[in-house]
Amino acid sequence: MIENHTIETYLGYLSEERRRRLNLIRKTIHSIASDISESMRYRMPTFERDDRWVSVASQKHYISIYLGRENVVREFAQKHPQLNYGKACIRIRDNQDIPFKDLKLYINRVLTPDV
């Protein structure tokens, strides 16, 4: 397994289309607030604000977005039942559109206290 020391290195191993999609998600996350930091945690790009975090990962046929809060993922799933979900993550297949407007709203709920 190749160790991915930076997000740029991680993205460099991906196909052009997957890299484009992950960069759009990354841009969406950073548009929430200027004080969001990013680093590699558990071999995934992770975005943190205070003690709150969101991670993303490239899987074989989909992108996973780990929100870490089951209740937020359940609410998101009610609005987007066509997507696949894990306990606290959203899975978006390569052939599915990314619902950026709602994704931003729910990521904001995770990264911002009292939202």
Quote the percentage of the chain above a pLDDT of 90. 90
What tens digit of pLDDT does each residue of 73-102 get? Answer: 999 999 999 999 999 999 999 999 999 999
Q: pLDDT tens digits for 98-111? A: 999 999 999 999 99
pTM: predicted TM-score of the whole model, two decimal places:
0.91
Report pLDDT for 1: 45
Q: Which CATH class is domain 7-111?
A: alpha beta
Task: Find tokens 């003690």 and name the residue.
Answer: 51
pLDDT band at residue 16 under the 50/70/90 scheme: very high
Backbone phi, psi, residue 61, to 5°:
-120, 10
Angle, nearest 10°, between helix axes 100-111 and 70-79? 160
